[in-house]
Structures are given as structure tokens and as C-alpha cells.
Structure 1
Amino acid sequence: MTNRQGLPIWYELITADADAAERFYGAVLGWRFEAMSTAPEMDYRIASAGSAGVAGLMQQPDGAEMPLRWLVYFGVDDVDRSVRDARQAGASVHVPPTDIPEVGRFAFLADPQGALFYLMRGASEQDSQAFQCGENLPQGHAVWNELSAPDPDAAIAFYRALLGLRREGGMPMGELGDYSFIHAGPECIGAVMGEAPNGQPGWQVYFSVDDIDEAVNRLGQAGGRTIQGPDEIPGNCFALVAEDPRGARFGLVGPRTR
């Protein structure tokens, strides 16, 4: 995956029950799953929307202490150099640069305020299709990446220096400060905001759905719950924050067709 530096290129859920997670996200987002053949020692499953791989489900290894949540992979040109730069800027490295045969080289970090994320240079020359931006996006793709941080300005400065992300535009949120849009090149990939009372610090991914109300119904029937929304957003769409049955948070974005 050779996407421009700073673009999200993959998403991963670490879960205590991969079978249950597969059933849940298959029902809510229509994903299909297959085992990752290049790592038979792990229970890692690739989720596809249509013909495109969009995310991975990773079973938490027995005895391992890992965050049970959704995580974002950011593409970089050089993982080793980026990890050195991140460490110098105050990030901590949980997994140093590591090769996955036929997949790529990655590292797992926490930014100076504790938000977890991955860096990766994929082995394939094809661009990732996991993240999409624009209108009329197919269901099941990631469409927005939202960072909640105690100090949003410091967070933006860190990711600008590391990944080349830039702040451009935003919306005032009263006592919560600004909801600042962040761009990688010409693409707006998400936003950075302060910590909300009912929020969860760190990165949160939003996935597209064809109809927000139908998605809410599927969410409830599959055992998940809505935390906030649906709220109307620009572009004649609605967004909500949800939790899966294990408590992992994610967002959904889509139109209201009825």
C-alpha cells in the first residue's frame, strides 16, 4: 500500500471474542470475513466491503494485555524514520518496526497524550481502499477519523510534524472548543477535538452505511447500542457513535433515505 504519507490505510479491532465480533460487524456493516493466510499463528480476520479489504479483526492473544478497541494505521514512506521522529517528539513505542511477510512493515505507538495508533508501509504497490472520502460512498468503508485529546492544539502539532497532517477549517463546539478538520494532502480525513464528557479519548473511526436508520436497527438487533446520535451533519448525512457488545466504540455515517 503506497498511499500518500499520513493517509489512513487500514483499521483494526482488537477483541476478546473474534467470532462474536465477526457476527456483529457482518450484521451491521455487511462485511465478509476470511482468515489472514500470511499469519497462521494468529487469529486475524480480514473484513471486506464488496471486493475491497477494509479492516482486520484480531483476537486478543491469551494472557496478552492489549487495548480492546478500534485502531487506525497511518501510511508512511519510512516506518523506521517515522518511529524515530515520533519518539523524539514524545511518543512511546509499544511495538518497534516489525515486518509481516507479504503485508508490510509496521509499528505500534502512543502519541504524547496517550492516543494509540499504527504506522505502516505496505508491501503492495496498490493503494489501500479502506478509507474513502467524497459523496455516495459504498457501505462498510471508513470515511472519518476523529481524535479526542486533552490538548487538541498539541495533538495537531504532533501529527503535523510526524505525518504532514494540517488543520484546515472547523466548527466551534462551545465549551468543548473547536472541532478542527485535518487534511492529508487534498483529502480531509477527519477532525481533532477536546475531550467530551461522554466521549472516549483517542482515535475513533466512522464507517459508511447506506441508510442511518436501518443501520441503527441492525445495530440494536445485533446487540450493540447507540451512544450519541444520529445527528445531522453537512452533506445531507447523519452520524452516530456506537458501541459493539464488547464495548468497542466506533461511528456510523449515512443518509436518511425515508
Structure 2
Amino acid sequence: MLFRDERWPDGTPCWVDLMVPDRTAAAQFYQSLLGWDIQFGGAETGFYGMAQLAGRPVAGVGETPPGQKGMPAVWTTYLGVSDVDKAVAAIIEAGGRIVAPPMDVMEEGRMAIATDPTGAAFGLWQAGRHFGTQVTLAPGALAWNECMSRDYATAKAFYGDVFGYSFGDMSNEEFTYATLDVDGRPVGGLGQATGTDYEPGWMLYFWTADADAAAARIPELGGTVVSAPVDTPFGRMLMAKDNQGAGFQLMAPNEQSGTQEGWGA
């Protein structure tokens, strides 16, 4: 387990949060599955919850506002930026759309919600007191974020223009995929979406100590295993939906990936 106590570099997926009709049901599911301690704020925060590991924030849990109760449960990935307003201008110029304009979140930071030209939604986060997730390499911590798009070329041009990513091509005859690199280091991924398990868009992975045990636990908690655990060179992975239909992925170290340095410590 590693801790981070500073702002994440621009373009890095730095935070994720969940919007659901029932925050209590969400807390019961994720606390049982990922070992989170979720503390909800008061009315002034919209009863927004902070999920924590070892007393450090790792994700947010919010309840759908009363006027938007028909919205589906969904996880949102936030990309770190130094200046939300400048990022919003760049998004518009590159063909994206602003869903929620820049707003201050008390003294915690400044945010906006956007979609890329292919319709994939994501957030922007300009850190104030809240830097984003502060725990890595531990069960329950954020492991990876990627955008799966039906129009890979358009999405690649957009994210490169707006965030200045370089791309590490990992494509082969079976799939099209590249890492999103910041200062030569992969921080996320971009791929050509295939299949029908999920709508294209930003997807997230959380670490788990045992993917198979998690797969058995998810139905007991009211969720659904969409794709059973499978070994990959990057870990043993599964796709699932929680007890309110929000999609997410889990990843566990395996023999191919090796045990991560600092894992679980």
C-alpha cells in the first residue's frame, strides 16, 4: 500500500465517484466487497460520501439529486488538470461538449463534467484541499482507468489535443489499444470498443486480492458478474455490475503480472 499526498500530474485519472439512487445500498455493497469505510457528509455536501482505506480517500459515493432520479447508476473518472477553465476551453475547441460547467466544490477543488466527441463522459478535477485518491497498490484502491471508444481515431486525436498525451501502442491483430502516457509514464488507456457487455466510455478497475473470491461474493451482495475472472498479462480480471447496475472491473495480481511492489503492505 502506497500513499500520495500531492496533486496528480495533469491528465492523470486522479479520482472516481459513483452516483446512485440509493447511497446506503451502495455503501453496503462496496464496503463488503472492497473493504471501504464510507463516511457521508451533511446536506451541504449533498450527502456525498468519501470511501477510505487506511483513513485515506480512494473514491466518492453520491446520491442522484431528487430532480434526476431517473438517471442510471454510473461511475465517473476524473482527469486531473491545473486549470479547469482552460481545460474546458480546450475540450470545446477539440469537439467535445461540456455537460456541467466549472464549479467550485467548497475549498476542496474545482470541477467540470464533459464528453469527448464520441460521447464518452469524464470529469475534470482541479485540486484544492482534495488531491484525489491517496492510496495505490492495495486491495480496494483504484488500479486502472481506460476509455473504450467505438471511434478510436477520433478519441485518440481528442485526448492527445486536450491533455497532451503521448501514446504507447499495444495493438495487435485482435485489438486496438494504446496507453495514455504523461511524462513517459502510462496513466490510463484508450481502446477500440468491441462487444456489447458495456456501453463504450470510461471504465475503471479496482484492485482485489482474489478475483475469484470477489466473483463469488458479488452475487451475494446483489450485484452481477458480467464476465468471469480471466488471466491476462496484467492480472486476473473480471467485469461486474453493482447492486444498482453501475459497471466496474476488478483486477488481482497473478503469475503473469507478478506481485506488485508494496502490494497490500
TM-score, with structure 2 as normaliser: 0.87
Pick aligned residue for 1:180 from 173, 178, 183: 178
Q: Which runs of 5+ in 1 are unaligned?
A: none
Aligned to 1:146: 146
Within 5 Å, give how 1:124-163 maps onto structure 2. 124=129, 127-130=131-134, 132=136, 137-163=137-163
Measured in 2, the distance between the counterparts of 1:255 and 1:21 equals 26
Equivalent residue, structure 1, for 2:238: 240
Letter in 2 for 1:94: V
Deviation at 1:128, TM superposition (A): 3.6
2:209 is equivalent to residue 210 of structure 1: yes
Q: In the alignment, is residue 59 of structure 1 matched against residue 63 of structure 2?
A: yes
Structure 2: tracts of 5 or more residues without a match: 1-5, 256-265
- How big is the shift at 1:67? 5.0
1:249 aligns with 2:254: no
Correspondent of 2:8 among 3, 11, 15: 3
For 2:170, the aligned partner's letter is: G
Change in 2 beyond 3 A, CA 1:61/1:129? closer
With over 3 angstroms needed to count, the CA separation of the structure-2 counterparts of 1:119 and 1:42, relative to structure 1, is same
Match of 1:164 in 2: 164
Change (3 A) 1:187 1:10: same
Q: Please say if 1:18 is aligned against 2:23.
A: yes
2:262 alignment partner in structure 1: none
RMSD of aligned Cα (Å): 2.0
How far apart, in 1, do the equivalents of 2:135 and 2:148 lie? 19
Q: Distance in 2 between matches of 1:173 and 1:69?
A: 32
Distance 1:73 1:181, change over 3 A: same
1:73 shift after superposition: 0.7
Paired with 1:255 and 1:52, the residues of 2 have a C-alpha distance of 22
1:212 touches 1:253 (CA, 8 Å); kept in 2?
Answer: yes
1:225 and 1:67, CA in 2 relative to 1: closer, same or farther beyond 3 A? closer
SS state at 1:95 partner: strand
Q: Identify the residue that residue 193 of structure 2 maps to in structure 1.
A: 195
